[in-house]
Amino acid sequence: MSLVSPSPAAWPMPPLVRASLAWHGTAAVLALAVPGAAPWALGGVMLNHAALTAAGLWPRSRLLGPNVTRLPEAAAARGEIALTIDDGPDPAVTPSVLDLLERHGQRATFFCIAERVQAHAALAREIVARGHEVQNHSYAHRHNFALLGPRGMAAEIERAQQVLFDVTGRRPSCFRAPAGLRNPFLDPVLYRLGLHLVSWTRRGFDTRERDPARVLERLTRGLAGGDILLLHDGHAARSVSGAPVVLAVLPALLEQCRTRRLASVTLDAALPARHAGRVA
């Protein structure tokens, strides 16, 4: 089965990228045609590159293409949120996360590193079997992901798509960039594959914060329908007691969801297909 979705139209280039291409062309003409204009044209190009870099370093930015930071209004009106859990699966943490979710009757979306899914295939299948979702968080979670060119990004994402489909039998519909960082080459790849870029509404910084109370406060301050929450079962920080912070935070977080009448749903349940050509 092909994992590439037939796109109904050419990639819709974001205005910032379109303007950047136009400016590069204009700068080249100015540098060649106007005496003394080359330094100014080069400076303008450098400023443009700085703007593109800043957009890629802002995980919730939509300047480089669509970016899901909240669930649709209909889901928010139903009191739905999305609990997303990154960087696993981790056999020392993920099973306990699954138990806590089951105990509270909530669903989560696991943005998994495909390399780890290969190493822990049975655990990845258990995530799906227990009613949750496995989505694409790249193949190897490379620290230089945001510096890759179009071929490098496509290779990372497509390899992960294939691994996750082979292991779980389900084709991911969403992608989260490592650390949320990206560049202008990412969205054309995601569009071709029919993948939503998904970031978050609020995050707990639980890969570096060792105090569960502070993580919980970040996640629940103003928590409301439509929010997308970010936690980690992989690379999880440890509390002073040595326990993974996510396991200390989840019981209280899920209890607050219950008292606020919020239901955590999977992203596939809340989001439409990115384009009509996407296949299941």
Q: Fold for 73-270, please state it.
A: TIM Barrel (3.20.20)
pLDDT in tens, 50-95: 776 777 788 899 999 999 999 999 999 999 999 999 999 999 999 9
Q: For residue 12, give the nearest of 71, 62, 52 by alpha carbon.
A: 62
Gap between the Cα atoms of 223 and 76, Å rounded: 11
89 preceded by a cis bond (ω within 30 of 0):
yes
The first and second tokens of residue 90, run together, are: 């981790």
Mean pLDDT for 232-254 is 95
Instruction: Name the β-bridge partners of 149.
Output: none
> What pLDDT, on the 0 to 100 scale, is given for residue 57?
82
> What pLDDT, on the 0 to 100 scale, is given for residue 278?
42
Q: Residue 209, SS3?
A: coil
Amino acid identity of residue 213, one-letter, is A
Q: Where are the domains of the chain?
A: 15-57, 73-270
pLDDT in tens, 153-197: 999 999 999 999 999 999 999 999 999 999 999 999 999 999 999
Stated pTM of the model:
0.90
